[in-house]
Structure 1
Amino acid sequence: MIVGILGGGQLAKMMAQEAKKMGFKVAILDPQEEPPAKGVSDYHILGSFKDEKAIRKLAEISDVLTYDIEHINVQALKELEKEGVQIYPSPRVLEIIQDKLVQMQVMKEAGIPVPRFIKADKDELVDKALEFGFPLVQKTRREGYDGKGVAVIRDKSELAKLIPADSMLQEFVNIEKEIAVMVARDQEGNTVAYPVVEMTFNEANILDMLIAPARIEEEIAEEAKRIAIKAVKALDGVGIFGVEMFLTKDGEVYLNEIAPRPHNSGHYTIEACLTSQFEQHIRAITGLPLGSSELLIPAVMFNLLGEGNGKPKVIGMKEALKFPGVYVHIYGKSVVKPLRKMGHVTVVNRNLEKALEIAHKVKKVIKVVGDA
């Protein structure tokens, strides 16, 4: 079997590694000459994620299609699905996820708790914001990721910060913690939920540090898992899904966003769980049984974000690996850009607080810089 992946970034690379372990071949479509996944794939089609001809070419050599990025030509995928091509998650799911407003509407209709929100077209943003009330969060309906396309407007004086694009305005939630659950669902509708994790974010709204399991009450953790599973079932999704949520200071859980693919908040599963998120995704889309999501050992994960510009240079690898339970993943991207995800580090330890302590120490010594 050949697994075709639209995208050749770090997520595709880690998916490909798991697919190869199971004896599958991997084909990727990516516009870069040397994307991270190329070295572990059997075929590389050079082309845009929007190019219907390139997507069809990938489909022709693949037995099943998936993706590691949402911003792709969904209409081309819908046509292929009509023609009998297996695509997981379905293009219908991708179409919902691509539009943040539609995503929230579908979740609300399914009875999922979500923050209050309204539609706000580009030419009515100020009026809608004044009508909605402050503080609020603006999310552009399309193309946003890693903090892009998001603006927090605290009062009237910050209206100039509104992003000029068709948007969704959402209630600013009084958050105790940001939490997430990875959920896998197979072609027969069986689901598996991973432990609830807690996350902190940097000023650019990119995941800074993740703690597994989340330091929350068991009752809240079970509620978060229930919501995450219900959300994926509402989409009729197949594959792995990253479900991000808010835990309020009042102990309420609200859905924030869903990613229809392996997710940054699930990287810890490689070392800490019986089945990694990447293996789980490959199992689901190829018709294999889902694996156990059991957490074997507490973990802390942080991203290695690029500093400067130029050819990547890893600093502090030797010092980082002197600490016990440290696993460094360098993605193999050819160019460093400021805040670009260049890798991640996972620290495992039987004692969660010890893992956190080591992670803070390692974070100070290891960096990926541009050797301009």
Structure 2
Amino acid sequence: MTTQPVSAHLGAPYSTLREDSTRIMLLGSGELGKEIALEAMRLGAYVIAVDSYEHAPAHHVAHEFHVIDMSHEETLSALIREVQPDIIVPEVEAIATSALTAAQRDQHIQVVPSVSIAQICMNREALRVTAAEKCGVPTTPYRFAQSEEELLDGALEVGFPCVIKPILSSSGHGQSVAHSPEDIPASWRHAQEDRRTAGDGTVSRVIVEAFAPLDYELTILTVSSSAGVVTCPPVGHVQKDGDYRESWQPAVIKQSTLEEAQRVARAVVEQLVADAQAVGEKGWGVFGVEIFVLTDGRVLFNEVSPRPHDTGMVTMISQNLSEFALHARAILGIPVHANDVTLRDASRAYASRAVVVEGEGEVIFSNLPEALSTPGTDLRLFGKPEVHGHRRMAVLLASAESADEARESTAHMLETLNIQVR
């Protein structure tokens, strides 16, 4: 474990913070964690940023940082005992949730949004059962399988083509589409080899889902706070290989579709929060609820992330309070109301575009004055130390009269930026 002295991370001496400042421990210090850290610090919190590598984005701004294997229970538990946080905020999924359970149970540390919610949302089986069977929201037909034989049986039940995913994975890892029974062996192997816990000697259960005739996807950012649950304007987005590439807000959709999408999002979040609060946890924070809209107009629940969502980076330019500011407020007990989740200007549209860089080495950005010459544009360079293969290194932001124009602005910015890997 590497620990950097606090003084290396403060723009002002630590003594300027009160000794009773709320101590927030970020587990995961990427670009989303960096924005959470900044917003929490603006509200007077002391932020401890943790990740598996040095110089992660949130390490640049936090009061204190640590580098550990967050998936190792004993290591994570030892760090929690050492830094004694008041609140633990998971920003990634590769975390030993058993350590979070112990921290909440034995030290009464607030886990965001709760230990139970983190465990459910990390597990596709638990989440799908909660959404479809407990909340009663519509989803694609699905089955679970423990073996290749059960996977084939499940695929035959839901029909081909079908989507196969490990129950423990994210960002498209281990996911494949089977078009016929002949594809099942390869899909099973891919799910086992590219899942989150691959190599641990166990066999992962998988979910097989009917292939939905998808028209488009939405993210409904949903905020649970001491004031209840509210939803942000819908976010449209484009993904590639399971990863976010573009998003815009508001998504232009029919009012009936919007109302159903918000109903589904609220139903799932309210159920998760109610179950958490029933056992004494807060359940506060931002949830990124992913929605499928089918070609026939039906709205289906897909997944929920119990933290700010990468597609929600557009809110850094679109909303009066970004998803990160909303998250910080909610977890600190500050009420979030409907008028806190509105757009800056309802007559305009907003877009974001991820900058994904390929290569090996340090990434250098230049020509920023030209890239930002169009009114209503902005960007965030994440400050990740280097790239190996491909990595999201920045996000471009734009405001315009329509979503198409805003997206065109971010595309122009990407073309104008000079990006070198060396």
TM-score (norm 1): 0.93
Cα distance change of structure 1 residues 38 and 123 upon mapping to structure 2, 3 Å threshold: same
Partner of 2:80: 58
1:214 aligned onto 2:235: no
Q: 1:339 is matched with which residue?
A: 390
Measured in 2, the distance between the counterparts of 1:44 and 1:177 equals 39
Q: Show structure 2 runs of 5+ residues with no match.
A: 1-21, 193-204, 274-282
| Structure index of larger Rg | 2
The C-alpha deviation readout for 1:295-350, integer Å capped at 9, x for no partner, is: 12421111111211211122553332122211111111111133321111111123
Of 106, 116, 121, 2:146 maps to 121
1:15 maps to 36
Report if the CA contact (8 A) 2:39-2:328 is conserved.
yes
Aligned residues: 368
What is aligned with 1:275?
321
| CA–CA distance in structure 2, aligned partners of residues 71 and 367 of structure 1 | 33
Aligned equivalents of 2:321, 2:52: Cα separation in 1: 30
Determine the C-alpha separation between the residues in 1 that align with 2:312 and 2:230: 13
Aligned pairs for 1:144-155 (under 5 A) are 144-155=169-180
Q: Secondary structure at the match of 2:127?
A: helix
Aligned to 1:136: 162
Deviation at 1:284, TM superposition (A): 1.1
1:338 partner SS: strand
Alpha-carbon distance in structure 1 between the residues aligned to 2:327 and 2:418: 29
> Which one of the candidate residues 58, 65, 89 is aligned to 1:37?
58
Structure 1 unpaired stretches of 5+: none
Residue 318 (str. 1) matches residue 369 (str. 2): yes
CA distance in 1, matches of 2:329, 2:61: 18
CA deviation map 1:111-149 (0-9, x unaligned): 11111110012443334323432010111111x222212
- Measured in 2, the distance between the counterparts of 1:170 and 1:306 equals 32
Q: Report the Cα distance in structure 2 between the residues aligned to 1:139 and 1:253, rounded to whole angstroms.
A: 21
Residue range with higher mean Cα deviation, 151-160 or 25-34: 151-160
Specify which of 367, 370, 381 is matched with residue 330 of structure 1.
381
Q: Which moved further from structure 2: 189-198 or 351-360?
A: 351-360
Classify 1:154/1:364 alpha carbon distance in 2 versus 1 (closer, same or farther; 3 Å). farther
One-letter identity of the residue aligned with 1:307 = E
Determine whether 1:370 maps to 2:421. yes
Deviation of the 1:89 alpha carbon: 1.1
Contact 1:27 1:58 survives alignment (8 Å): no
1:36–1:251 distance in 2 versus 1, CA, 3 Å = same
Instruction: Report what 1:244 is aligned to.
Output: 290
In 2, the alpha carbon distance for the partners of 1:229 and 1:101 equals 20
Looking at structure 1, the residues matched to 245 and 172 of structure 2 have their Cα atoms a distance apart, in angstroms, of: 12
Q: RMSD of the TM alignment (CA)?
A: 1.8
Q: How does 1:228-307 map to 2 (within 5 A)?
A: 228-236=265-273, 237-290=283-336, 292-297=340-345, 298-307=349-358
- Tell me by how many angstroms 1:154 deviates: 2.4
The answer to whether the aligner puts 1:225 opposite 2:262 as a matched pair is yes
**CA–CA separation in structure 2 for the residues paired with 1:350 and 1:342:** 27
Q: Indicate conservation of the 8 Å contact 2:246/2:311, yes or no.
A: no
Contact preservation (8 Å) 2:367, 2:417: yes
Match of 1:196 in 2: 234
The code of the aligned residue for 1:267 comes to M
The residue type paired with residue 111 of structure 2 is I
| Secondary structure of the structure 2 residue equivalent to 1:357 | helix
Q: Distance in 2 between matches of 1:192 and 1:7?
A: 26
Q: Which amino acid aligns with 1:173?
A: A
Shift in Å, 1:210:
1.1
Please report the TM-score for the alignment, with normalisation by the length of structure 2: 0.83
Q: Offset of 1:206 from its aligned partner?
A: 1.7
Distance in 2 between residues matched to 1:369 and 1:241, nearest whole Å = 35
Q: State the one-letter code of the partner of 1:213.
A: P
What amino acid is aligned across from residue 56 of structure 2 in structure 1? P
Give 2:215's aligned residue: 176
- Residues 304 and 368, structure 1, Cα contact 8 Å, conserved in 2: no
2:343 aligned partner, one-letter code: L
Displacement of 1:189 after TM fit? 5.9
Deviation at 1:53, TM superposition (A): 4.1
